[in-house]
Amino acid sequence: MENKILYHASKQVVEYPEIRKAKYTKDFSWGFYCTGHYKQAVRWANRGKGSPVINQYSYRPDGSLSILKFEGMTDEWLDFIARCRSGESHRYDIVEGPMANDTIWNYVNDFLVGNITRKQFWVLAEFRYPTHQISFHTLAALDCLIFEGSEIVCDS
């Protein structure tokens, strides 16, 4: 398998990635999140105060790990995000798929609380630009990443 380049948006250099438990769970639960889309990383790094740092890693998948990959926004993806965002955990080392950005997350939340149906969710989400995220949930998963460097990149 070939190495893939991934980016992590931050306000600091992250040479040694960590899995941090936070107050709120993310799309795929607690983990270290990266993307294969450079422009997406730049957008995220430029949110809030502080220097926008893009950390770059080589990623070499380990076939012995438990990896869940969503090729697109599907019912299975929506249900998985809904469970994770509701606080449920999972046993995957790595999860990869589309990201529920702020707009999509609002639709997911509306679906979770019953304000919209599944069908209405898909109508609203249909025309959103593609996003990508890959999350690392165990130390073995983090071992698949090799830090290549970082740079400060301001969104233009």
What are the boundaries of each domain within the chain?
Answer: 4-100+131-152
- CA dist list (Å): 62 to 9, 59, 66, 144: 23, 9, 9, 7
pLDDT for res 128: 64
| Strand partners of residue 152 | 53
25-67 confidence digits (pLDDT tens):
788 999 999 999 999 899 889 988 999 999 999 999 999 999 9
pTM, full prediction: 0.87
Smallest CA-to-CA distance from 124 within 114, 112, 113, 110 is with: 110
For the purposes of burial, counting CB atoms within 10 Å of the CB of 82, is it exposed (0-12), middle (13-18) or buried (19 or more)?
middle
> What would the pLDDT profile of 112-154 be if each residue is shown by its tens digit?
899 999 899 888 877 666 689 999 999 999 999 999 999 998 8
Q: What is the mean pLDDT of residues 85-99?
A: 92
User: Higher model confidence: residue 24 or residue 76?
Assistant: 76
pLDDT of residue 15: 97
Comparing 21 with 156, which gets the higher pLDDT? 21
Whether pLDDT at 108 is above 90: no
Mean pLDDT confidence for 6-18: 96
